[in-house]
Every structure is written in structure tokens, then in C-alpha cells.
A and B are shown apart, each in its own frame.
Chain A
Amino acid sequence: MLPHLDSAYGLARWMLRHPHEAEDAVQDAYVRALEHFDTYQGRGEKAWLLTIVRNVCLMRLRRSRQSANVVMIEDVLGQVEQAVAESSSAKAAADPETASIARAERNEVHRALGRLPTSFREVLVLREFEELTYKEIADVVGVPIGTVMSRLARARSLMRSLLIEADRGEHKNEV
């Protein structure tokens, strides 16, 4: 019996965005969990395990960033900021925006989440898919609760912008 395996795998998939990488990371994480059992304080085992999964993923991300053809986080951040600038230029009508967000389909949501910088994506995944509390997210990510709140707010506003942008792109294609 492996506790919280689905949560561990989900977080690794969202952080590494590659099935095999995620599988290896989760396997590493469970081995580490066993080795570092003394750091487990007898409560919040899900957050404890996800902390290990996250650390393993970050190490893998750092390692792969050193190899050549990997998009730098900063580049992705640049793209996202640009998307935000574009979408906020058309902020006037609010209701069509809500409608275009609600229209988003599964693969559009995946793509938008994938475009978020890792530090925003991880808090959103921990909140929306793992339903962790702010305190638990703060423990996993190792930042104060205030930072969790501001990252969540930022992650959500980026998601809105990216989904609106995706929807607009789709309509362009239809016309």
C-alpha cells in the first residue's frame, strides 16, 4: 500500500510535464521518503510526501535545464507576461470574458496550466487538484502563507488571461 500515490504522481506530472520523468521522480520520492522517515513528524503525511516529491522534481528540472534544448523558465515567464498584456488590452467587456473562460476545453486547460511558470503552477495544482490548505501548501513549497496567497492570485489571473487568449485564437481560426 502506497499512501497518496495519485497525489504524488499528479504533482510530478504537472511539475515535470513528461510521463516518464514523472514516474522516475515519484519512484525516487518514495525511496527518499523511506530513507528520510525520521523527518516525518507524525502528522500531515500527505504534505510531507508531496514536499519530497516537489524537491525531487525541482532537482530534475534544474538538471534538465542545464542540457541544451530545454526552454528556460524565464522565457516561459516572458511569454506569459506578454499574453497577459495582450488580453488586458481588451478588458473592457467583462461578461464575454467569463463566457470564453467557461468554454475552455480540457486540452486548452492543460496547455494553459503548462504555460504557467512552475512556481505558480505548483501552488495552483496543490490547491485545485490536491485541495491542500494554504498552510499545507506553505509547508510543501517552503514559503510564508502570504506568498502562497499572492502566488495563487497571480496564477489564477494568468490562467484567466491564457484561457481568454486561447479562446480568441480559436475564434480567429473559425473566421
Chain B
Amino acid sequence: MKCEEVRELLEALHDNELVPETRAAVVEHVQGCSGCARALRDLEVLRPVIAKAGRFVTPAELRARIIRTLRHRDAGFARGWRWRTLSALVASHAAMIIGGGLIVYVATSDYLRHGSATREVVAAHVRSLLDERRLALTSGDQHTVRPWFAGKLDFSPEVVNLEQDGFPLLGARVDYVDGRYQAALEYTRRNHKITVFEAPADETWVNATRRSVHNGYNVIQWVSGGLSYQAISDLNGSELGHFAALLRRKSKE
């Protein structure tokens, strides 16, 4: 690859938008070319600086105001929005599964397996956002949550308290996702909810951390101590990464 071509693709490399082959070619060039390497560094220095601006904090009053307005506008809002969103989501997932059915049946690679699993946990997470009553146990104490799962699941999930790290535990429920009952733990960070799904890892799980983005939700999946973990939230990728790292470390202790 020539420098000119590489320079055109540096931005996309930096934003993780290149297909693997192109990415490999660009990275290989950058490793052997000081000019392009310096251009990439110039780009990379900017991201943490922009991040210093931080995100705006939504005024709590605004949230309340919008909910009031919507209720006023549409008396059936509470049910209407939830159920219409839910049915739209369910319909789209069904369409995806039917549309992708051929591929799913033909190929059973880790990637596809993870892909469909990810879609399902995203859908389960969205369902929980839409219906807050789904939280069966509201407790932030791992010594209450852990025994609560006994008898409800055929495995014992890890329950880790991350309150001191700024991720308080809201509670737990059992959810049927990806063909089996899973433990679902809900944590929170500011106004963002994080759901962690846990289930025994079968042979389709590879021993590596996978990050992906589905419908604007960040998903991180990993395997530890024989369990598969899937953390999902609309929280930004770096904070969710921090959360996953903490959970991973503390569940080993």
C-alpha cells in the first residue's frame, strides 16, 4: 500500500471501521513507515483530549418533565410505548432470525453463535428496561442475592458487590435467554442500567473477551470459572469495559 492510500484510511483505522483484511494491510504499512505512524499518533492524541469535555449530565427534572408531558399527550403512554417498542423489537429479531436462518443452520462458527447470543441478550436487556417490574429481587447485597438463586437455577452464579467501585447492584432475576435459564444481575452507573447474564459456558464459548455494539448497546462477553458472562448497557464502551474488568477480577477472588 502507498502512503497516500494509507493516509486516507487512517481515520477509519482509528475509528475501528476497517474490514479485517484492509485493517491488517494498513497496520502493516504503519508499522514500517514512520511518516504514517506519526500521522496516526497525531490522530490518537486527540481522542483522550476530546473525552476531557465529558458528557453532559441530564437534569433529573427534565426526565420527570418529559414523562409528565408524554403521559399527558398519550394516556396510554406507559403501556403504549413499552409494548409498541417491545413488539417492534421482537418483530425485528424474528425477521433477522428468519432472514439469517439459512446461514445460521449451515455455519455454526463461534462468530455466528456469539452473534445470535448477543442479539438475544440485547433483546432481554431492552425488555428489562421497558418493564421495571421484571426485577424479581431488589437487593444490593450479594449475601441476599446469591442464596436467592438457589433452587431457581441449575448452577450457582457469581454475585459480586461493586458498590464501592461506583456500580451499585440493583437486584436480580432469572431470565430465559439463548435457549436456557440464565442469572440476570442488574447494576447501575448514573442513569445507565447494566445487565449481566451468567450461565454455564458450553463448548461454543471461546476463552476470549469479545466486545461488540448492537443497536447502540455495548456488549462485553467473556468466560471465567466455567461460566459465560455477558454484560450489556447503553453506558459508553470504556466505562463498561472498566466494569467488566472489575467484575472479572473480583469474581476470581
Contact = CB atoms under 8 A, between A and B. Distances in A.
Interface of A: 1-7, 9-10, 13-14, 19, 22-23, 26-27, 30-31, 34, 37, 40-47, 94, 98, 101-102, 104-106, 109-110, 113, 124, 127-129, 131-134, 136, 149, 152-153, 156, 159-160, 163
A27 B218 CA distance: 25
B134 to A, nearest CB: 11
A14 B118 CA distance: 32
A42 B91 contact: yes
Which 7 A-B residue pairs are closest in the complex by CB-CB distance?
Answer: A46-B216, A42-B92, A42-B88, A9-B58, A109-B53, A13-B56, A10-B56
B54 interface: yes
B132 interface: yes
B205 interface: no
Contacts of B62: 5, 9, 23, 26-27
Contact of A5 (B46, B52, B191, B218): B191
Nearest to B43: A156
Among A13, A42, A94, A101, find the residue whose CB has the most chain B CB atoms closer than 10 A: A42
B106 interface: no
Among A3, A19, A47, find the residue whose CB has the most chain B CB atoms closer than 10 A: A3
A149 to B, nearest CB: 6
Contacts of A105: 52
Contacts of B237: 131
B130 interface: yes
B180 interface: no
A14 B50 CA distance: 13
Contact of B215 (A46, A129, A131): A46
At the interface, is chain A mostly helix, strand, loop or mixed?
helix
A156 B215 contact: no
22 contacts: A1-B129, A5-B191, A6-B234, A9-B56, A9-B58, A10-B56, A30-B69, A31-B69, A34-B81, A37-B88, A41-B88, A43-B215, A44-B215, A44-B216, A46-B217, A46-B234, A102-B48, A109-B50, A109-B52, A129-B236, A149-B12, A160-B46
What bracket does the count of chain B residues touching chain A fall in?
35 or more
Contacts of B215: 43-46
B58 A134 contact: no
Contacts of A152: 11, 15
A159 B50 contact: yes
A124 B53 CA distance: 12
B73 interface: yes
Contact of B46 (A3, A46, A159): A159
A23 B46 contact: no
Contacts of B45: 98, 101-102
Contact of A101 (B46, B51, B56, B81): B46
Given A3-B129, A6-B192, 17 more contacts: A2-B66, A3-B85, A4-B216, A4-B234, A6-B58, A9-B56, A9-B58, A34-B74, A42-B92, A46-B215, A47-B216, A102-B45, A109-B50, A109-B53, A124-B50, A131-B213, A131-B218
Contacts of A23: 59, 62, 65
A109 B82 CA distance: 38
A149 B210 CA distance: 26
A34 B77 contact: yes
B110 interface: no
A25 to B, nearest CB: 11
